[in-house]
Amino acid sequence: MTKEKESLEVKTEVIAETNRYMAWRADEPDGESTYHLELNSATVHFFAEEWDEFLALVQTLIK
């Protein structure tokens, strides 16, 4: 793989998953990370700031 093609590659990492749901992160070539929640047939996409706010919301729900 050439350096140019490698620098355009999106790197993904599964954060957590169950039988029906998955949370994963994509590190974009421009340095931005995006977060994705797959909930059955729906996928919700977040930028990093939105993801942090979503996690804070979830924390208040489970307290």
User: Residues 9-63: pLDDT tens digits?
Assistant: 899 999 999 999 999 999 999 999 999 999 999 999 999 999 999 999 999 999 8
Res 63: pLDDT:
84
C-beta atoms surrounding 55 within 10 Å: 11
Identity of the amino acid at 61: L
C-beta atoms surrounding 23 within 10 Å: 18
Q: Which domain holds residue 15?
A: 3-62
Cβ–Cβ < 8 Å for 45, 36: yes
Structural domain tally of the chain? Answer: 1
The pTM (predicted TM-score) of the whole model is 0.81
Question: Could you tell me how many helices (H) and strands (E) the chain has, helices first?
Answer: 2, 4
